[in-house]
Amino acid sequence: MVAVILIAIILIAGTPALIPFVRRRPVPRLYRWALGLMVANTALQVIFVLGLVLGILRLYYSTHFALVGMPLCVVGGILGIVSLIRYQTGLGLLFAIESTAILTTVCWFTLVTLH
How far apart CA 65 and CA 47 sit, in angstroms, is 10
Instruction: List the chain pLDDT tens, one digit each, 115 residues.
Output: 888 999 999 999 988 888 887 888 788 888 889 989 999 999 999 999 999 999 998 888 888 999 999 999 999 989 988 888 887 777 777 788 888 889 999 999 988 887 6
Task: Write down the pTM of the prediction.
Answer: 0.88
The distance in angstroms from the start CA to the end CA of the chain is 19
- 96 contacts 46 by C-beta, under 8 angstroms: no
Contact 52, 59 (CB under 8 A): yes
